[in-house]
Structure 1
Amino acid sequence: MENDKLINSNEMIKKYMVMSMGAGLIPIPVIDIVALTGIQLKMLNNLTEIYQVPFSKNASKSIIGSLVGGLAPTYAAAGIGGSLAKLIPVSGTITGMMTMSSFSGASTYAIGQVFIQHFESGGTLLDFDIDKMQEYFMTAFKQGKEQTKKDIPSE
């Protein structure tokens, strides 16, 4: 039963990772970030259902924002820069779409992995410690970037 939770959670994360990559391809700046946030919140809601943990939209938004905001400045800038690059016609739009797609997939993967680990250890949204999970989030983000390369061969 516990193993089923883990298998189902990982399969679901891959699905949401691909959806997030699609959101990163939205050519309109800011709209891509809004779509990404919605996808990540829905994924987290589904994880709370699998692990039978109460869901709070406000707590989830805060945690996701803090995790992603805590990325090394280079990674965080890539996400924001990828979205804003779409303002430049043609080349900026294409570059921004590819950058934002990769960032979106990797961050969604990392968020999912962090919460699987937290929920597997009996945690809830209320006792989530961002400082303790930030290092694992960075590791999972790097793994997520590798996962996205399987779907996007070039960046």
Structure 2
Amino acid sequence: MATKTETEIDTQIEDKAERLEKASAIISNKCKWSAAAGFIPVPYVDLAGLAAVQVKMVSELTHLYGRTVKQDAIKTTVATLLGTLATGGLAAPVAFTTLKIIPGLGSVAGGVSLGALGAAATYAVGKVFVNHFEGGGTLSNFDVDKVKDDLKNEFSAKTAKA
């Protein structure tokens, strides 16, 4: 088995750095869209918008890492991850979206709160997928139970900064 030259190793590092930069840009972009989804004025449609943004993000990340996956598999995995976060404190978005029923201030409070939590959840989901793909994983061997703690830690870290 041949050993890799320094040039080959440097190229791999540059490729990884470039890939991580692109992944970070995807996550950042989708966090902004997730925050915006919080301001959809119709209760519960905002939650559907948030889920759609996260599915799109995971789809873009799978493409970046050269994976091909059916949208249904991505939807199922994202829903499972969000369910994991719901047990860890993300149940509040249901309350925040319900606030939008109250005209005026309810819409603003619900939008701000849901936007912030939605962006944090999107960030956490994105980071978990990037870490999984960087380790050579695919969506078919993605195990929600194994990433549960990482997901909650990423979410907590992001909400603490907000």
- Same structural fold, with TM-score higher than 0.5 when normalized by the shorter chain: yes
Q: Is 1:134 the counterpart of 2:153 in the alignment?
A: no
Against the structure 1 CA distance between its residues 127 and 61, is the aligned structure 2 distance closer, same or farther, given a 3 Å change threshold?
A: same
User: Given the alignment, which residue of 72, 81, 97 partners 1:58?
Assistant: 72
Letter in 2 for 1:108: T
Query: What number of residue pairs does the alignment pair up?
Result: 148
Task: Give unpaired runs (5+ residues) of structure 1.
Answer: 150-155
State the identity as a percent.
32
Separation in structure 2 between the aligned mates of residue 85 and residue 139 of structure 1, nearest angstrom: 27
Give matches, 1:4-153, under 5 Å: 4-71=18-85, 73=87, 75-146=89-160, 149=162
Greater than 3 Å deviation, 4+ residue runs: none
Q: Which of these two proteins has the greater Rg computed from alpha carbons? A: 2
User: TM-score normalized by structure 2?
Assistant: 0.85
Alpha-carbon shift at residue 142 of structure 1 (Å): 1.6
List alignment gaps of at least 5 residues for structure 2.
1-14
Cα deviation 1:71-109 (Å, max 9, x = unaligned): 254622211111111112222212111111011100110
Q: 1:4-45: CA deviations, max 9, x gaps? A: 111110121011101110011111111111211111111111
Three-state SS of the structure 2 residue aligned to 1:128 is coil
Contact 2:88 2:152 in 1 (8 A): no
Give TM-score, length-normalised by structure 1.
0.89
